[in-house]
Structure 1
Amino acid sequence: NTRLQVEHPVTEAITGLDLVAWQIRVAQGEALPITQAQVPLIGHAIEVRLYAEDPSNDFLPATGQLALYRESAPGPGRRVDSGVEQGDSVSPFYDPMLGKLIAWGEDREQARLRLLSMLDEFAVGGLRTNLSFLRRIIAHPAFAAAELDTGFIPRYQDELLPVPGALGDEFWQAAAAAFIQSLPAGDGPWADTRGFRAGLPAEVSLHLSCNGQDRLVTLPTQPPLLRGEQLLIEHQGVRRAHLAVRSESTLYLRWDGELHAVSLFDPIAAVEAGQLHQGGLTAPMNGSIVRVLVEVGQAVEAGMQLVVLEAMKMEHSIRAPQAGVIKALFCEEGEMVAEGCALVELETAD
């Protein structure tokens, strides 16, 4: 086989052989240096693929800019193969794989724990990825016990793909503390972030937005301290550090294993977003319209295919969520559309 498999680093990890170098030597007419029987098998290795995709939306590919990209620290038994860096854009024209994380250990459990640690250190912000999904798999007790088959993900779907819930008070307090302390230094009295009020105790309030939720937060007099990119929170004598990285107007805060994008709440943008999605079907990702299967005035049934979008070598169908009549079309075949762009307006049947 002249083609290297995506998982070839696993083979390299447990054999200590450089398969790419072997390919080049064979291409030059050299013979393989050892036979199959002489290939050593040492320890255990596990690989995961990091993709720009949305596990909560049927794993559709995601596009956008890598506003934050931090790889795990190098070390024994650790390997990261990637082709991106912070600031790069993920387009709809190529495969959405960002990289591969490979961990080696003397046994499977050591390799698993090492890989789990690597996933904990990795941070990607600016677009959706499967990073948290991978971490939940590797950390799952059934995976640790090697109780694996093709039904693993459906069997534990509620644990591996949990439905996002409301963000708690502790999260919002932490987000506000990190957000205010990570603001760049400004000039003049209006840039002061200490919450000065004439004749009243100092008070700092922020209206923040995250994951479609928003909260007006008033900081306590002694909020958690941000040291570098670590927000230190002490609870019942235990201190925990949470990654908190600012990228322009957005703060990326790691909380309960998830990296959340926090920004100041924009009430005008929230109203516009609500109006845009009312009765409208939007593009789930950047891509090209390959087929428009309906016309204005046409009656459609729930589940009927309306538009076909192509992105990253795959076709994705936009279907009617319920029965109704096509009120307007905002796309045509061959057109490039951006994620969130309105494609079809559907007037539902009463």
Structure 2
Amino acid sequence: MFERVLIANRGEIACRVIRTCRRLGIRTIAVYSEADADAQHVRLADEAFPIGGPRPADSYLRGAAILAVAKKAGAQAIHPGYGFLSENTGFARACSDAGIAFIGPRPESIEAMGSKAAAKALMERHGVPLVPGYHGDNQDGTFLAEQACATGFPLMIKAAAGGGGKGMRIVRKEAEFADALASAQREAQSSFGDARVILERYVEHPRHIEFQVFGDSQGRVIHLNERECSAQRRYQKVLEETPSPFLDEARRAAMGEAAVAAARAVNYVGAGTVEFIVAPTGEFFFMEMNTRLQVEHPVTELTLGLDLVEWQLRVAAGEPLPLAQEQIRAHGHAIEVRLYAEDPEQNFLPGSGRLLRLRLPEPSRHVRLDGGVIEGDTVTIFYDPMIAKLIVYDADRPRALLRLREALAACEIAGPKSNIAFLERLARHPCVIEGRIDTGYLDRHLDEFLVGDVAPPDRVLFAAATAALLHDECAAASRGLHGHDPHSPWARADAWRIGHAGRRVVALSLRDHRYEVDAHGHDGDYCLRHGENRCEVRGARHDGEILSARFDDESIRLPLRADASRVLLHDLDGQRYRLARAAAYAWSSEDAAVGNQLLAPMPGRIVLVKAAAGDHVEQGQELLVMEAMKMELALKAPRAGTIESVSANEGEFVEADAVLVRFSE
């Protein structure tokens, strides 16, 4: 076994590899960019070395710099994690040439599967079922348009290199093909340095089911069962689980055999994933093979009781696979979701900033957390905005879904906006609960998973106000106990007045809307009013996590946390509300309209300018395309009018809130 391993990655995967290495007594060496000098993977590793600037191209994609660190630190092996250099043939070959083990497949295997086009040709020769389409070398636009017509619509354009949903577009009409092709090629070039694409017939309402495969240097290849990843948004996986609720044993066996055949076709060594599109009829087609460890590998580990990173290390060190195919036995059900700094209500706009509060559930045999940040860390604009992976496990799928809902309810993120409320709605949606979701369902029905600008019901406002009152009274009592006169009337927070009952105003805000609740009473007994609606609260108690009280004689128990700045609660239907505490005095919000300007929503690079001064545009017309946090954002006109000036050029990096376009008055 290796004694010193360098991890050529960052974030949660670097932290996860470090944990396994530490358990096995292997010293770890980390590398970091300027943006990651204080990152958790740097703090967890035994040693860490800088490798360049904050942009991936200036640091984590610099194979020569990483190899120089490996030699300097005496690393015997390099674990690439996923993303960055994990599927880079040149880097894998350079490691071999330097006498350093690459903890992954042979360069030839990466090369064979690194191009979707070449991989499909190889699978075709080995009898693995393929989706009809074009995967040749001719990339002429006119020729590709002809092939698209021959394949038929709807079809999928895919980047020939890479994965992760980058460079993918669905085209339903011939007239849309040229624009979709240009956009896919642009994104493919930006993400992978390779603008080549392939075309595939688009299978309507497909499921995405992948098989974990593993091979060793002795020639054995096995699979470790499937993971279903059909819950997707814009080709990005949102929820992954095993076993698939769709497969029966016969289909599972057939797909497992096809996955092993695909791995054998490239003499595969190490961990890999063979991905399939599965039609509603059960017919399945090879989609691609990822020659690395996948983000969602923890669900496989929990159901099999294995550590796949340990398997990677042992296989890379020349050891045989620890188990044979017939020894693989799965138990229970596991589900994974990813907590992101993003705003689902703003088209999942990636976020950045300091994590002012990060509360996650306690790890247990039912709950696993793989994260790369802690409270106080910063989510930067340079990398994927994932905060943590939340993985749950139980004896069967219904109980695992219940664990997921409970775990999500225990999460709280303050600072950048997050997708927690979106994931909670996902975990409660009938389509997910019944296991009948397909890869396009979220995009077709996204409004079913978003909260929208809906006012909270009065029962939520009354519960939040009750918790706020209890918090303020407790805080005032605590100040009184530690003051000079604990019996002073100024140490009370019940608004007591001579001759009449005290009145307090609890002001709460949600999505820039202000709500005022008038309150009389104290110590858990209150009369509350919001507008014309009233509520009598009796026997209210709050232990820091749960509020229990009688609201108009109905006893209710709600998960709830409160302090001087916010109230976080879950309503009886599981809906999450995070209300900010506001000052009780008069308040008004400024008009949020952008008026005569189009601003950059976040820092990023302008990749396309589609308008010029003097142009007359309609509301919603696309004016610029911006690349930020590994995704393209279409910036559209906020109103109809004439453009006075365009302040951004293609290739230019802009800061958040920079004025990009001005409109004439």
- TM normalised by structure 1 equals 0.84
What is the match of residue 250 of structure 1?
A: 565
What is the match of residue 51 of structure 1?
A: 340
- Alignment of 1:95 with 2:384, yes or no, is yes
- Alignment of 1:228 with 2:528, yes or no, is no
- Alignment of 1:178 with 2:467, yes or no, is yes
Question: Counterparts of 1:23 and 1:324 in 2: how far apart (Å)?
Answer: 58
- Alignment of 1:214 with 2:514, yes or no, is yes
Question: Counterparts of 1:173 and 1:328 in 2: how far apart (Å)?
Answer: 49
Q: How does 1:89-238 map to 2 (within 5 A)?
A: 89-154=378-443, 156-183=445-472, 185=476, 192-221=492-521, 222-223=525-526, 224-235=540-551, 236-238=553-555
What is the match of residue 323 of structure 1?
A: 640
Question: Counterparts of 1:287 and 1:217 in 2: how far apart (Å)?
Answer: 42
Residue type of the alignment partner of 2:371: S
Q: How many residues align?
A: 344
Identity of aligned residues (%): 39
Shift in CA distance, 226/282, structure 1 to aligned 2, threshold 3 Å:
farther
Structure 1: gaps (5+ residues): none
Residue of 607, 610, 620 corresponding to 1:303: 620
Choose 1 or 2 for highest CA Rg.
2
User: Would you say the 8 A contact 1:209–1:265 is kept in 2?
Assistant: no
After TM superposition, give the deviation of residue 20 of structure 1 in Å: 0.7
What is the match of residue 292 of structure 2?
A: 3
Q: How does 1:26-45 map to 2 (within 5 A)?
A: 26-45=315-334
After TM superposition, give the deviation of residue 228 of structure 1 in Å: 2.7
After TM superposition, give the deviation of residue 161 of structure 1 in Å: 2.4
Residue type of the alignment partner of 1:133: F
What is the match of residue 285 of structure 1?
A: 602
- Alignment of 1:334 with 2:334, yes or no, is no
**Residue aligned with 2:591, SS:** helix
Instruction: Map Cα deviations across residues 82-116 of structure 1 (whole Å, 9 max, x no partner).
Output: 12222222221110111112222222222222222
User: Would you say the 8 A contact 1:325–1:346 is kept in 2?
Assistant: yes
Question: Counterparts of 1:177 and 1:275 in 2: how far apart (Å)?
Answer: 31
Shift in CA distance, 200/110, structure 1 to aligned 2, threshold 3 Å:
closer
What is the match of residue 80 of structure 2?
A: none
After TM superposition, give the deviation of residue 251 of structure 1 in Å: 0.6
After TM superposition, give the deviation of residue 121 of structure 1 in Å: 2.0
Residue of 604, 629, 632 corresponding to 1:312: 629
User: Would you say the 8 A contact 1:48–1:102 is kept in 2?
Assistant: yes
After TM superposition, give the deviation of residue 269 of structure 1 in Å: 8.2
User: Would you say the 8 A contact 2:468–2:567 is kept in 1?
Assistant: no
Structure number with the higher helix fraction is 2
Question: Counterparts of 1:251 and 1:18 in 2: how far apart (Å)?
Answer: 40
- Alignment of 1:23 with 2:312, yes or no, is yes
After TM superposition, give the deviation of residue 270 of structure 1 in Å: 4.4
Stretch moving more, 18-27 or 60-69? 60-69
User: Would you say the 8 A contact 2:343–2:419 is kept in 1?
Assistant: yes
After TM superposition, give the deviation of residue 130 of structure 1 in Å: 1.9
Question: Counterparts of 1:190 and 1:345 in 2: how far apart (Å)?
Answer: 54
Instruction: Map Cα deviations across residues 45-92 of structure 1 (whole Å, 9 max, x no partner).
Output: 221122222222222212233222211232223212112222222221
Question: Counterparts of 2:305 and 2:439 in 1: how far apart (Å)?
Answer: 30
- Alignment of 1:260 with 2:575, yes or no, is no
After TM superposition, give the deviation of residue 324 of structure 1 in Å: 0.6
Question: Counterparts of 1:214 and 1:330 in 2: how far apart (Å)?
Answer: 36
**Residue aligned with 1:3, SS:** coil
Residue type of the alignment partner of 1:258: R
What is the match of residue 240 of structure 1?
A: 557
Question: Counterparts of 2:436 and 2:320 in 1: how far apart (Å)?
Answer: 40
Stretch moving more, 73-82 or 174-183? 174-183
The answer to which structure, 1 or 2, has the higher relative contact order (CA under 8 A, 6+ apart) is 1
Stretch moving more, 133-142 or 229-238? 229-238
Question: Counterparts of 1:294 and 1:270 in 2: how far apart (Å)?
Answer: 36
**Residue aligned with 1:137, SS:** helix
After TM superposition, give the deviation of residue 204 of structure 1 in Å: 0.9
User: Would you say the 8 A contact 2:354–2:376 is kept in 1?
Assistant: yes
User: Would you say the 8 A contact 2:354–2:379 is kept in 1?
Assistant: yes
Question: Counterparts of 2:624 and 2:490 in 1: how far apart (Å)?
Answer: 50
**Residue aligned with 1:220, SS:** strand
User: Would you say the 8 A contact 1:309–1:316 is kept in 2?
Assistant: yes
**Residue aligned with 2:413, SS:** strand
Residue of 311, 329, 349 corresponding to 1:60: 349
**Residue aligned with 1:209, SS:** strand
User: Would you say the 8 A contact 1:12–1:18 is kept in 2?
Assistant: yes
User: Would you say the 8 A contact 1:125–1:261 is kept in 2?
Assistant: no
Stretch moving more, 277-286 or 29-38? 277-286
After TM superposition, give the deviation of residue 131 of structure 1 in Å: 1.6
User: Would you say the 8 A contact 2:506–2:517 is kept in 1?
Assistant: yes
Stretch moving more, 60-69 or 262-271? 262-271
What is the match of residue 274 of structure 1?
A: 591
User: Would you say the 8 A contact 2:401–2:427 is kept in 1?
Assistant: yes
What is the match of residue 114 of structure 2?
A: none
Residue of 354, 360, 365 corresponding to 1:76: 365
- TM normalised by structure 2 equals 0.47
Instruction: Map Cα deviations across residues 128-166 of structure 1 (whole Å, 9 max, x no partner).
Output: 222222222222223222222234325654432243311
**Residue aligned with 1:135, SS:** helix
